[in-house]
């Protein structure tokens, strides 16, 4: 859990104190709050609620009523919290911001994964995430049914076009990377680079910005000598066509960088 991100979000919103709540609501008042879906969605981000309330204190009980990855209908209560009315009110917007954003990622991820059902292709997410929210957004993408690609620069080899230029060519880049002991994925942009990558025995080829027709031709050339990932221009309208080319994976940055926040609300009722 990225505790510092949650702390920063709370500090950004509450600052020195919630002046409206402190002015209007008596300090000892107790309440129950509900998080309610206002549209169909795939739920994600519920893990942040416990940390939000732990950091602020004043909460007696938190119940997560539906789990991440669940398909939620409009009107469904997804979580319930009991505690200080002041705490519930001051945390309301931060909690909703996380749930709406992360459930939006999960919902879009589910749309992508559903569109490739029946093919042998899986959808990957990318590193095109909101700064500071990568672990949460990738967890949300996985909840929606896509496969997490590498978490960062530290956990997998992916040789991109600028690495190739800096290393002095495809063969040199692959040769240099062998010392890592990790599987080698490399982006190829031309047929010459494709053949060089195959001769170098790269494990995974990233074919970027190809038309579905060209991708299918290149995949025939590869002939299962390496895993194949397609990227570039892949959206909800095109993902099925790309998945049917014979690729092992398609990747789309849109899953995290362009997901729409879904609609959830928070409703509060007083307790004795």
Catalytic residues: 93, 128, 160, 187, 208
Pairing of strands 41-42, 184-188: unpaired
- Distance CA(222)–CA(203), nearest Å, equals 11
With both helix axes pointing from N to C terminus, report the angle between 191-199 and 170-177 in degrees, rounded to the nearest 10.
Answer: 30
Please say whether the beta carbons of 188 and 229 come within 8 A: no
- Distance CA(13)–CA(15), nearest Å, equals 6
- Residue 138, Cβ density class (10 Å: 0-12 exposed, 13-18 middle, ≥19 buried): buried
Instruction: State both tokens at 133.
Output: 């929210």
């Amino acid at each position: 859990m990225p505790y510092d991100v949650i702390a920063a979000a709370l500090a950004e919103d509450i600052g020195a104190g919630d002046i409206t709540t402190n002015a209007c609501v008596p300090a000892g008042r107790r309440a129950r709050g509900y998080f309610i879906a206002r549209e169909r969605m795939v739920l994600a981000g519920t893990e942040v609620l416990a940390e939000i309330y732990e950091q602020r204190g004043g909460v007696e009980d938190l119940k997560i009523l539906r789990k991440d990855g669940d398909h939620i209908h409009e009107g469904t209560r997804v979580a319930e919290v009991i505690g200080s009315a002041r705490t519930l009110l001051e945390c309301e917007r931060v909690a909703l911001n996380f749930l709406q954003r992360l459930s939006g990622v999960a919902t879009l991820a589910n749309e992508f994964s559903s569109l490739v059902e029946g093919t042998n292709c899986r959808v990957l997410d990318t590193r095109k995430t909101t700064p500071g929210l990568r672990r949460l957004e990738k967890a949300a993408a996985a909840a929606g049914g896509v496969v997490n690609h590498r978490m960062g620069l530290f956990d997998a080899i992916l040789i991109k076009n600028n690495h190739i230029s800096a290393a002095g060519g495809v063969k040199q880049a692959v040769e240099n990377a062998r010392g890592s002991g990790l599987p080698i994925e490399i982006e190829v942009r031309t047929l010459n680079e494709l053949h060089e990558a195959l001769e170098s025995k790269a494990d995974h080829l990233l074919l970027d910005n190809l038309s579905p027709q060209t991708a299918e031709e290149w995949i025939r050339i590869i002939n299962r000598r390496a895993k194949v990932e397609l990227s570039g221009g892949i959206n909800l309208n095109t993902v099925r066509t790309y998945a049917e080319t014979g690729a092992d994976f398609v990747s789309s940055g849109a899953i995290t960088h362009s997901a729409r926040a879904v609609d959830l609300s928070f409703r509060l009722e007083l307790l004795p």
